[in-house]
Chain A
Amino acid sequence: MWAVPGGRVSVRGGATEGAWPGSGGGAGRARMSSGRPAAPSPPPGGLPGPPPPRRRRRGPAPGPPLPAGGNDVFVTSRSDFRAQLRRCQRLLAPGGAPGAAPAPAPPGELRLHGLGLAVPRTINLALQLQAGAGGALRLHASTSSVPLRAPRHRRPAAPDGHESGDGDGEDGDPPRHNSAIHIRLCREAPCA
């Protein structure tokens, strides 16, 4: 935690939290108030005032697009395990999630994704689902590396004043990678 004059910073979890590329969730997103003064009101004469300052927010790195359709569950270590298990069981049940549109993925298939510290929990979820299904589920596990994006305040400033949106380490250190696991659960065997 560090002090920002005129603002409040809340940092959730470690570097792995909220680093899923393309995830639009708010988990792990740190918010920092800019501390800038409020926009001045336009003068009484009706002349247009300066544009209001843009408020910047840090967000997850824009990564590759998520796989289309399917039941994808991104596991974090912050959520309650039993709630995650219930949600996965509901998604695996015939019909999938209530009120959801028919997904292009075959029914009875679920994909779990875990990053960093959430990898053991992801494995635990998959094994618990398999144990609860009485052996009717097949696990297909694969691993990968996910490049992490450095926070904005650590990236070197561009010489022309524009902040580059691509923080892949071209100007400084190579990007850090985090290990990820992807487990596909399906009822039919073998998985396609």
Chain B
Amino acid sequence: MENFRKVRTSEEEMPLPFPDLPPDVVEMKVKEGSKIRNLMNFAMAQMELKGRRQIVFSGCGRAVTKTITCVEIMKRKLGGLHQVTKVRYKTVLEVWENQDPLPNGPAQNLTVHKNVPSICILLSRDPLDPNQTGYQPPEPRHEAGENTSGSSTKGLKRPLPPPCEELLPKKLQVQVSDSPRGLGTTTGQLDH
């Protein structure tokens, strides 16, 4: 078995476990290597600019904790969000290939089916059915205000930029000493 190497990993596609979701609902698929900053930038932009009412975060395996972290950050920043949490198993397929096969033998492949715990969290600005399992009401407004007013960057190393700036082309900032504000900007475009 020491000659086997993992060549491919795929997850089984499963429908979202929430009823009556709009077809264009944003689903944030959190992976183990996903950056929280990138996830939150996109998610916040979707929720604020496009006026969406619902968003879904999903993750499995080692990404479960990161999924919960993203949800908690969003609840702290927006506030007043209704939450429904569903947990279930998800099947992950791993394909292992023998890197050192026998000279005249066929290529040996192993397909491993793993059931890993997964989580799906729905956040909604609109009230949801409180009787469904996994429903969590929004936190009281004064608690959300205290958390955000004191430090909206709790749990983050750097503050998140406003969503509108991320959608505009990046500006090249050049410090100009004779400007009245001490800092001037010249517009330029950077290749991403």
State the total of A-B contacts with C-beta under 8 angstroms.
Answer: 67
26 residue pairs of the A-B complex, CB under 8 angstroms, read A119-B64, A119-B65, A119-B68, A120-B61, A120-B116, A123-B87, A123-B117, A123-B118, A139-B87, A139-B133, A140-B133, A140-B134, A141-B85, A141-B86, A141-B119, A143-B121, A143-B136, A145-B76, A174-B153, A175-B154, A177-B72, A177-B154, A179-B72, A181-B119, A190-B133, A191-B133
**A88 is an interface residue with CB less than 8 A from chain B:** no
A179 in contact with B69 (CB, 8 Å): yes
**B62 is an interface residue with CB less than 8 A from chain A:** yes
Which residues of chain A come closer than 8 Å to B116, judged between CB atoms? 120
B154 in contact with A174 (CB, 8 Å): yes
Given A177-B72, A177-B155, verify A120-B62 contact (CB < 8 Å): yes
> What range describes how many residues of A lie at the interface?
20 to 34
User: B76: shortest Cβ distance to chain A, in Å?
Assistant: 8
Which residues of chain A come closer than 8 Å to B153, judged between CB atoms? 174
Interface residues of B (CB under 8 A from A): 61-62, 64-65, 68-69, 71-72, 76, 83, 85-89, 116-119, 121, 131, 133-134, 136, 151, 153-155
Give which listed residue, B72, B88, B118, contacts A144 with CB less than 8 A. Answer: B72
Question: Which A111-155 residues have a C-beta within 8 angstroms of B?
Answer: 116-117, 119-120, 123-124, 126-127, 138-145
Bound Cα distance A105, B153 (Å) = 38
User: A79: shortest Cβ distance to chain B, in Å?
Assistant: 17
B119 in contact with A123 (CB, 8 Å): yes
A176 in contact with B68 (CB, 8 Å): no
Bound Cα distance A137, B133 (Å) = 12
Bound Cα distance A29, B12 (Å) = 40
Which residues of chain A come closer than 8 Å to B72, judged between CB atoms? 143-145, 177, 179
**A19 is an interface residue with CB less than 8 A from chain B:** no
Chain B interface mostly: mixed
Bound Cα distance A191, B136 (Å) = 13
Bound Cα distance A14, B117 (Å) = 22
User: A29: shortest Cβ distance to chain B, in Å?
Assistant: 22
Bound Cα distance A124, B114 (Å) = 13
Which residues of chain A come closer than 8 Å to B133, judged between CB atoms? 138-140, 190-191
B68, B69, B121, B151: most-surrounded residue (chain A CB, <10 A): B68
User: B161: shortest Cβ distance to chain A, in Å?
Assistant: 19
The closest CB in chain A to the CB of B72 belongs to A145
User: B62: shortest Cβ distance to chain A, in Å?
Assistant: 7
User: A187: shortest Cβ distance to chain B, in Å?
Assistant: 13
Given A143-B85, A144-B72, verify A123-B64 contact (CB < 8 Å): yes
**A183 is an interface residue with CB less than 8 A from chain B:** yes
B65 in contact with A179 (CB, 8 Å): yes
User: B117: shortest Cβ distance to chain A, in Å?
Assistant: 4
Which residues of chain B come closer than 8 Å to A174, judged between CB atoms? 151, 153-154
Bound Cα distance A44, B72 (Å) = 64
Give which listed residue, A116, A120, A176, contacts B155 with CB less than 8 A. Answer: A176
